Structure 1
């Protein structure tokens, strides 16, 4: 089982250059999730990627979903509508695909890194600007979407922790 061996990201005092200070906690949460995912899934067998113990979401789904929703939420934060490709990705997240754990984890880690890079495009002055989300145009703000991206990533990281523990215990 994955064991934490170092100080959590937010307690290290490191700051990302060029990032609005208000977004540093969200970036810290994303970096923490990245570290935990990499440690948690080290040695996890590809054969268990799509297993759904007790009907919960599979490890493969969580990794695909993290990569997908980060891109979608940042698209909204940037004031844009989703593309056809992003909508197709959303529809395909639940589907079992012939991807390895290595590929799925690399995609999720790349999405986390890209999200933090995209955060740098939001100066403090735009963080409270209104944004519309989805077809319904639900109200949010730039900072709200950035924090939701981090929070949702940690939610799925926590779910992955439990799912992998259950699956490893069964094998």
Structure 2
């Protein structure tokens, strides 16, 4: 049998203090962080903003992972985006001060995961079907819809990041 630490996060068992219905969201976010952390080893920093065949750069994906989690979890709290969040969104894909390396962007992503997990812990399961507005148009969703989308969107971008890192590394070999 595979040792528990070598299993994917969702196969390691329930996470303490996470509501049962939100375990999959927390598992997906933790899995994403582990996969991104593994990519950091020996990443060629001069390739962070390279866009192979015109796809989004590694740096963009790392910024977007952090920003989209922040935005979706803000909507789940029924709060509007603030000026800093809108500025982050406008600058995704561009090098930013204090976020110029893979490790710095990974640290920001990891911190955002921690904030998301703390919010999940505080989320009352009875509010999961409460309506929440998304974006300036306030398109209707639910707390659960936003949290689930945050998890699946994160996983989608981690998949894109895995491929982009492989292409960038192959190009520098």
Q: Deviations over 1:91-113 (max 9, x none)?
A: 01122335111101111111112
Tell whether 2:61 aligns with 1:62: yes
| Aligned ranges 1:1-171 → 2 under 5 Å | 6-13=6-13, 15-97=14-96, 99-171=100-172
Q: Distance in 1 between matches of 2:84 and 2:111?
A: 18
Q: Distance in 1 between matches of 2:132 and 2:18?
A: 20
Tell me the CA shift for residue 18 of structure 1.
Answer: 2.1
Q: Distance in 1 between matches of 2:17 and 2:142?
A: 20
Tell me the CA shift for residue 84 of structure 1.
Answer: 1.2
Gaps in structure 1 of 5+ consecutive residues: none
Tell me the CA shift for residue 57 of structure 1.
Answer: 0.4
CA RMSD of aligned residues (A): 1.2
Q: Deviations over 1:74-132 (max 9, x none)?
A: 00000111111111111011223351111011111111121111111211111110000
Tell me the CA shift for residue 45 of structure 1.
Answer: 1.4
Q: Distance in 2 between matches of 1:123 and 1:97?
A: 36
**What is the SS of the residue equivalent to 1:120?**
helix
**Given that residues 19 and 123 in structure 1 are in contact (C-alpha distance below 8 angstroms), is that contact kept between their aligned partners in structure 2?**
no
Q: Distance in 2 between matches of 1:74 and 1:113?
A: 12
Gaps in structure 2 of 5+ consecutive residues: none
**Alignment length, in residue pairs?**
166
Q: Distance in 1 between matches of 2:105 and 2:72?
A: 19
Q: Distance in 2 between matches of 1:18 and 1:130?
A: 24
